[in-house]
Amino acid sequence: MSQKYFSKIDFAMLVVLLIVSLALAAQAFSFGGVDFGVYYAAGRVVLRGGNPYDFQQLAGEIVSSTGELNNPYYYAPWFTWSILPFSILPYAVARIAWAVANFLLWFWGLFKLNKVIAWPPKGWRRWGVYILATFLFAWTTWGFEQVGVLIFFLFTTLLLAIKNDRWDSAGIWLALLLFKPNITAIPVMAITFWFLLRGKRRPVIVMFGVVAAMVLVSLILSPGWYLALLQPDKLIGLSYTLDSSGSVEIVRYNTTLLDWLSAYGMNGTASNMIYSAVILMGIFAAAWVVRKSESIVEVAAVIILVNFAVIPYALFYDYPALVITLFFVNTLFVSTKPSLIWAGRIMNGFVLLNLFVGATISFRYWMVIVLALFVLLGYYVNSRNLVGGQRVGQAGGTAS
């Protein structure tokens, strides 16, 4: 077939990507707003000199802005500072601005990711994969107005900085990632160890310096803000919805191993034993990849997967960073062998199918399980010398 024909297909798929993505974003926005109302209210509390971590101060502002109550605010002060420009706007306008920002960050991150991971291939296949990734990861996050897309963007920008040996920038991105430590602390810690084992201390020093500076500024602006994080409502709010007084209302569904096991009726000793075994396997996998791999992309892909496998609190809208794992594992199946190409396609199909299993987001943990099996299969075929093209550990930048 002619190059002209392929160009038409490429353009047509790009148009489909744009239409589908805008449609998904519009539908997500129509859900009516969820967690952005908490961020917006936190910013409003800060603007009038209050403490957003004090639920009594926050609750009234949430109701005033959105008309209904939500849960406590947990994010680091530097995230709150980034929300202040939104909080100056009327709530309806701020929601639109937040939606636009997340739409742009998602595709900016995808295009940046292509600079560090050699998959998907150029042309219509890339646009098709972006449609799949947008449906899998971005749509739910947009609908809940959460920060998963921002975390994915920061991880991608970090990987690009490391690839280009921009160590100061890498340290800054590491520091900024810690605004939501329940999702990012394990990957940041693993990448820190990866730097130190290779004698790269500058990004680590910059990271600690930036975090220390931001914490110091937060204490100057609002002394003792952290004391509100020690209140009982903060721990309770992770598992239950709260009323305006901080009292428990209903149980929240999470997307973790324990919630997944509970969804299948497994609780108590059996589930704790399985969880303990997975944690041990996760520690082994993290230690192995940090010590052995010279590819920061491989390290990030494996550590992000391990992180979601073992952390005790996460929801499906936190999963966008797993697109790094998904794209990386597909590089392990780059081959001229039709059997391997189809094996990769089948595994991608299973990743998609997880969206249609079960009635709650607890079942979305299947994505972590399928991706783990996908990665193990990829390493296996590499160890058997069956894969053509790049070897494991060569799909991204190194600590040169």
Question: Where does the pLDDT of residue 252 fall: very low under 50, low under 70, confident under 90, or very high at 90 and above?
Answer: low
Position 52 in a domain:
yes
Position 198 in a domain:
yes
Predicted TM-score (pTM) of the model is 0.92
Position 107 in a domain:
yes
Position 397 in a domain:
no
Position 321 in a domain:
yes
Q: pLDDT per residue over 346-376, tens digit each? A: 999 999 998 899 888 999 999 999 999 999 9
Tally of domains in the chain: 1
Position 202 in a domain:
yes
Would the pLDDT of 399 be above 50? no
Position 394 in a domain:
no
* SS3 of residue 372 by DSSP: helix
* SS3 of residue 169 by DSSP: helix
For the chain, the helix, strand and coil percentages under 3-state DSSP, each to the nearest 5: 70, 0, 25
Average pLDDT, the chain: 89
Cβ atoms < 10 Å from Cβ of 382 = 16
Find the helix or strand (DSSP H, E) in which 249 lies. Answer: strand 248-251
Residue 319: the pLDDT is 97
Q: pLDDT per residue over 80-95, tens digit each? A: 999 999 999 999 999 9
Residue 110: the pLDDT is 96
Higher pLDDT, 163 or 235: 163
Would the pLDDT of 146 be above 60? yes
- In sequence order, which residues have a C-beta less than 8 Å from that of residue 268 and are 6 or more positions away? none
Position 97 in a domain:
yes
Domain range holding 348? 3-383
Question: Where does the pLDDT of residue 174 fall: very low under 50, low under 70, confident under 90, or very high at 90 and above?
Answer: very high
Residue 4: the pLDDT is 58
The dihedral region occupied by 260, where left means phi > 0, alpha psi between -120 and 50, and beta the remainder, is alpha
